[in-house]
Amino acid sequence: MANDLDRRFDEELARVIGPGGRLVIGEDELGRAIVTNFPATLPAFFRTFAALNGANEAVVAGDERLTFADLDRISEVLAHGLAARGIAKGDRVAIAMRNCPAWIVTYMAILKAGGVATLLNGWWEPFEMEHAVQLTEPRLIIADPPRARRLQERCGRYETVSLPIDEPVETAIAPLMKAADESSALPELAPEDDATILFTSGSTGEAKGAVSTHRAVTTGVYAYSTGLIVLKGLLEQEGRPPPTPRTLLSVPLFHVTGEVPVMLNSFVVGRCMVMMAKWDATEALRLIEKEKVTYFVGVPTMSLELMNHPERDKYDLSSLSDITAGGAPRPITHVERLKHEFPNAQPALGYGLTESNATGCANFWSSYAAKPASTGRAQKPLVEVSILGAGDRKLPAGESGEIGIRTAANIKGYWRNPEATEQAMTPDGTVRTGDVGFLDEEGYLFIVDRKKEIIIRGGENISAAEVEAECYACPSVAEVAVFGAPDERLGEVPVAVIYLKQGEALNGPELLGFLDGKLAKFKIPERIIISAEPLPRLGTGKIDRRALKAQYAH
């Protein structure tokens, strides 16, 4: 039986999408729900919502403050600057920068110029950058100085413009503005045109480029906006209208969480983004107090660091009304602690993928307190969640199988990888998540396992196969197995079990030294265990990761 919050949510949602409501719901060619009265392409999205929320403060970055009208105006000129450089419809333009105002206006301008915003992971090492760049072949790379230097090591043949991002945004983007002709026409775009490429670590190793259309990205945004519109309606019914929304932008913009539910959703709801260049719990506490931040989202590690911070009581955090987590499981014990430590803020949890533009499930407020082990219900009406059995048959409540997400927000496929696309997508437009779970009678999703060998360390996906491949490159290593071990702060961390070649001598620190510079820092194993015996194997001959995990992951 639905709880009171779910019942009220569903009633308010019915009003929002019903006759005369704010959203009009239609269907795409696969019969998936879409919003038909909101813009379906990102240039129209930016122009529409920047006009509606033009005077609202949009970005705070140090001493710089920009409104939504500022972002739209600056990005419009920059789009003409990119067009003058020869950027045309369908060209990939890569962004390799830390969070800053220039990142946001560059992203907007690429899309307004008809380009495909290709979001490089700013934490990658040079060889990882090289793989993504060679895969997508961007016409132009826009970077900050540290990442420009990293790119130069391995990607020197691709044109790269380094921006002085610590300067005010219009000064920072000046290198891209030569010959900008604002009288020229920018290309017309359709909802089915490619909009973004984000990178995702799969179980097979090297990152794949997940391609989204304009329809997919905007649908992902509207899935989040719909939820906020409904919750705002519930608060107004109770005579508690929410304060002007302000969010701490503490997650990287090259991640789907930073891009879709935080950045793009802020345009729809007129929410100010208080930017952090990198995560620092002390700085986060200072900014929450100074800027009266109402909404905090990050991996569970971040809210745990806020709770555990020795100087937390020195800051006024009463403005916080919501503390949301995504990107990794949140330990159940954290839920009660959050309620106790932040009595004015209600915890929430989300579940989604890069492949679904962050959409999936949401669990919030009293429903989260009632079912803290669940990632919540599907984000209605734009998202369907099912449990898939053999032959993609949908399983009934209570039965475990692979979790499927069906939404028009799903990616079009993987860039130049039709085999991986076919494996990930069903004919009806459902993404196979690789996660195993079940739905209860009320539609709440419970994740119980992962089919693919992915380790989620503080919200960062790590391919066990990729780490193993780099370990095998060490001449002393005969066998290796990498798996995730539970970690109170980060959710899980990679652990490597190594069996050496006969006659070889190698210790953990020596192997860590070998891996340094070959893998991004977050992928380096937290522990290395040298086994005196060959690693156990399954009947198929494969190394038995599960047995090793049971033995060592504690």
Of 64, 157, 72, 134, give the one whose Cα is nearest residue 108. Answer: 72
The pLDDT of residue 473 is 87
The pLDDT of residue 205 is 60
The β-bridge relationship of strands 208-213 and 445-450 is unpaired
Amino acid at 2: A
Confidence of residue 1 (pLDDT cuts 50, 70, 90): low
Helix, strand, or coil (residue 510): helix
The pLDDT of residue 526 is 94
On the question of a cis peptide bond just before residue 381, with omega within 30 degrees of 0, the verdict is yes
CB atoms inside a 10 Å sphere around CB 308? 12
In whole angstroms, give the CA distance from residue 273 to residue 230. 21
Please provide the average confidence, as pLDDT, over all residues in the chain. Answer: 93
- Is the pLDDT at 34 greater than 50? The verdict is yes
Which tens digit of pLDDT belongs to each residue from 317-342?
999 999 998 776 677 777 888 888 88
Which tens digit of pLDDT belongs to each residue from 274-293?
999 988 999 999 999 999 99
Amino acid at 66: L
- Is the pLDDT at 404 greater than 50? The verdict is yes
Helix, strand, or coil (residue 273): strand
Helix H, strand E, coil C: the string for 194-247 is EEEEEEECCCCCCCEEEEEEHHHHHHHHHHHHHHHHHHHHHHHHCCCCCCCCEE
For residue 519, the 8-state DSSP code is B
Q: Which residues contact 546 (CB under 8 A, 6 or more apart)?
A: none
For residue 59, the surrounding DSSP H or E stretch is strand 57-61
Q: Tell me the domains of the chain and their CATH numbers.
A: 25-38+214-450 (3.40.50.12780), 68-189 (3.40.50.980), 454-552 (3.30.300.30)
- Is the pLDDT at 180 greater than 80? The verdict is yes
Give the pLDDT mean for 525-552. 84
In whole angstroms, give the CA distance from residue 113 to residue 78. 9
Of 422, 502, 16, 32, give the one whose Cα is nearest residue 24. Answer: 16
Contact 304, 90 (CB under 8 A): no
Confidence of residue 203 (pLDDT cuts 50, 70, 90): very low
- Is the pLDDT at 202 greater than 60? The verdict is no
342 or 360, which is more confident? 360
- Is the pLDDT at 73 greater than 70? The verdict is yes
Give the pLDDT mean for 477-493. 88
In whole angstroms, give the CA distance from residue 259 to residue 169. 19
R_g of the chain, CA atoms, integer Å: 23
What pTM was computed for the model?
A: 0.88
C-alpha distances (whole Å) from 437 to each of 132, 385, 531 are: 31, 11, 33
- Is the pLDDT at 493 greater than 80? The verdict is yes
Of 453, 543, 539, 446, give the one whose Cα is nearest residue 499. Answer: 543
The pLDDT of residue 367 is 94
Which tens digit of pLDDT belongs to each residue from 88-103?
999 999 999 999 999 9
- Is the pLDDT at 204 greater than 60? The verdict is no
Give the pLDDT mean for 346-371. 94
Contact 360, 378 (CB under 8 A): yes
Residues linked to residue 484 through DSSP beta bridges, in sequence order: 494
Residue 418 has φ and ψ, to the nearest 5°, of -65, -30
Of 412, 376, 147, 139, give the one whose Cα is nearest residue 254. Answer: 147
Burial class for 183, CB neighbours closer than 10 Å (0-12, 13-18, 19+): exposed
The pLDDT of residue 541 is 61
In whole angstroms, give the CA distance from residue 121 to residue 129. 8
Give the pLDDT mean for 420-448. 95
Give the pLDDT mean for 11-26. 97
CB atoms inside a 10 Å sphere around CB 366? 12
Lowest mean pLDDT among 12-21, 221-230, 529-538: 529-538
Percent of the chain with pLDDT over 90: 76
- Is the pLDDT at 494 greater than 60? The verdict is yes
The pLDDT of residue 407 is 98
- In this structure, the chain runs to a length of 554
